[in-house]
């Protein structure tokens, strides 16, 4: 009966949801990433209160919809990958709390900044908005850096409940900080490209300078991270038979840890090199396009660079989604950390119905909000920030 109701086998559905999880992360990084980048740039691209209002109103009407990508990704992880959700959201609790505080500050800054016209009041909120963008971007990158290195967690053999034994400050190790700075550079570039596109005058000129520098820095840091992973970061590989359609049980496998193991997938699938090439190439192309003021193409190139960087992480680690340094056998993979066959199928049907609707609505909103944001348009709009 199950085979009749669910035409896709369990192993295929797991890979489909691994790909969908990656798509949601890319969607969040591209859509909400420029909000974080714009917030981080606020004090440096806008020097007067009028200019800062312009910058805030570029993202003010759309940031709430963009953040839905993060909420959707968290919900999808909870439903499709419950073991991953439990291990990451509970084990990395303090880092998640820091991220949550940063994300809470942003809407508060948008809403409260304009309540009073005092210079000191607005300057404080501007700095908090900047801090929220930098901290959130940094924490996202640090999290990815730690996942690539492995996270110190194990699993209770009876209940499979994840047990985390790491510390908050250990998360900020050298490689994770490199990944964090890369994340900041990547999202600042994305935000700067948007400002160069959607604003005019001095704000656009300063944003263009930040976009050029940020794009080149993104390419350099990404390449440096790749060399570091290939030569100095231990990777993981499954050494036992892989059961793609069995019940989720991370302990039912053996795992080897060795230097350079994260490069094995590029030997198996040479086409996977397209992902890191996309990350480096599109970042450098962003710098070129923004210099010649091809702003729309620069924004597309920046989005593709972000996609290439995130895809590189996913393809390098596949099938692992959260490796364990404490007990490599407890590492979570695509094959042993998912929900049931029926759950994944129902979620896929819901996604196929509602994702096109959400995408169409989002496209319509951006079409309505198209055009330059200037001091004149901000002044003429009574509900502007």
% of the chain at pLDDT higher than 90: 56
pLDDT value of position 382? 67
Cis before residue 319, ω within 30 degrees of 0? yes
DSSP states of 276-327 as a string?
HHHHHHHHHHHHHHHHTT-HHHHHHHHHHHHHHHHHHHHHHHTTEEE-BSS-
CA–CA distance, 357 with 105 (Å, rounded to integer): 30
Nearest to 109 by CA among 89, 90, 98, 124: 124
pLDDT value of position 314? 95
Can you list the positions of beta strands (E) in 56-193? 153-155, 162-164
Report the chain's mean pLDDT, rounded to a whole number: 89
Question: Measured on CA atoms in the order 203, 367, 36, 215, is the torsion positive or negative?
Answer: negative
CA distance between the termini of the chain: 56
In degrees, rounded to 5, the angle at the alpha carbon of residue 22 between the alpha carbons of residues 21 and 24 is 65
CA–CA distance, 211 with 187 (Å, rounded to integer): 10
Average pLDDT rounded to a whole number, residues 92-101: 87
Average pLDDT rounded to a whole number, residues 126-137: 93
pLDDT (tens digit, 9 = 90+) per residue, 179-222? 999 999 999 999 999 999 999 999 999 999 999 999 999 999 99
CA–CA distance, 150 with 234 (Å, rounded to integer): 9
- pLDDT of 280 over the 90 cut: yes
Per-residue CA distances from 89 to 25, 74, 99, 224, 264 (Å): 16, 10, 12, 29, 29
pLDDT value of position 96? 87
Tell me the sheet residues that pair with 131: none
Number of CB atoms found within 10 A of residue 72's CB: 17
Tell me the sheet residues that pair with 324: 151
Average pLDDT rounded to a whole number, residues 292-320: 96
Average pLDDT rounded to a whole number, residues 358-370: 83
pLDDT (tens digit, 9 = 90+) per residue, 52-81? 889 998 888 888 788 888 888 888 899 999
Number of CB atoms found within 10 A of residue 102's CB: 21
pLDDT value of position 358? 82
pLDDT value of position 94? 85
Is-contact 190 302, C-beta < 8 A? yes
Q: pLDDT-derived band of residue 378, with 50, 70 and 90 as boundaries? A: confident
pLDDT value of position 1? 41
**Residue 3 or residue 294, greater confidence:** 294
Nearest to 80 by CA among 332, 331, 326: 332
Q: pLDDT-derived band of residue 4, with 50, 70 and 90 as boundaries? A: low
pLDDT value of position 162? 77
Is-contact 76 347, C-beta < 8 A? yes
Q: Is 178 helix (H, G, I), strand (E, B) or coil?
A: helix
- pLDDT of 3 over the 70 cut: no
The torsion region of residue 153 among left (phi > 0), alpha (psi -120 to 50) and beta comes to beta
pLDDT (tens digit, 9 = 90+) per residue, 330-347? 899 999 999 999 999 999
- pLDDT of 257 over the 80 cut: yes
Of 6-10, 22-26, 171-175, 332-336, least confident by mean pLDDT is: 6-10
CA–CA distance, 348 with 368 (Å, rounded to integer): 30
Question: Measured on CA atoms in the order 268, 272, 274, 275, is the torsion positive or negative?
Answer: negative
Of 18-22, 37-41, 255-259, 365-369, least confident by mean pLDDT is: 365-369
Nearest to 8 by CA among 249, 334, 346: 346
């Amino acid at each position: 009966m199950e085979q009749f109701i669910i035409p896709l086998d369990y192993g295929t559905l797991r890979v489909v949801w691994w790909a969908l999880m990656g798509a949601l992360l890319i969607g969040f990084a591209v859509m909400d990433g420029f909000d974080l980048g714009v917030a981080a740039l606020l004090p440096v691209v806008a020097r007067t209160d009028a200019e800062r209002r312009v910058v805030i109103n570029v993202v003010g009407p759309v940031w709430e919809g963009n953040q839905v990508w993060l909420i959707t990704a968290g919900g999808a992880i909870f439903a499709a990958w419950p073991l991953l959700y439990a291990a990451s959201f509970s084990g990395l609790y303090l880092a998640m709390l820091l991220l949550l505080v940063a994300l809470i500050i942003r809407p508060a800054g948008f809403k409260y900044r304009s309540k009073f016209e005092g210079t000191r009041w607005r300057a404080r909120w501007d700095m908090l908005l900047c801090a929220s963008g930098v901290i959130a971007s940094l924490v996202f990158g640090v999290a990815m850096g730690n996942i690539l290195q492995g996270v110190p967690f194990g699993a209770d053999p009876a209940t499979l409940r994840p047990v985390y034994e790491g510390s908050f400050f250990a998360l900020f190790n050298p490689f994770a900080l490199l990944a964090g700075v890369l994340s900041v550079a990547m999202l600042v570039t994305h935000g700067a490209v948007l400002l160069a596109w959607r604003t005019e005058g001095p704000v656009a000129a300063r944003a263009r300078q930040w976009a050029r520098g940020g794009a080149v820095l993104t390419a350099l840091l990404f390449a440096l991270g790749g060399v570091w992973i290939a030569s100095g970061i231990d990777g993981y590989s499954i050494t036992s038979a892989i059961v793609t359609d069995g019940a989720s049980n991370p302990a039912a496998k053996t795992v080897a840890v060795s230097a350079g193991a994260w490069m094995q997938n590029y030997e198996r699938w040479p086409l996977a090199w397209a992902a890191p090439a996309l990350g480096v190439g599109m970042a450098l192309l962003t710098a070129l396009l923004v210099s010649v003021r091809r702003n729309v193409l620069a924004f597309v190139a920046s989005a593709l660079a972000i996609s290439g960087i995130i895809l590189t992480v996913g393809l390098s680690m596949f099938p692992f989604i959260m490796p364990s340094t404490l007990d490599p056998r407890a590492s979570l993979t695509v094959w042993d950390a998912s929900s049931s066959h029926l759950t994944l199928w129902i979620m896929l049907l819901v996604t196929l119905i509602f994702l096109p609707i959400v995408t169409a609505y989002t496209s319509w909103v951006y079409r309505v909000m198209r055009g330059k944001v200037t001091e004149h348009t901000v002044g003429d709009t009574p509900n502007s920030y």
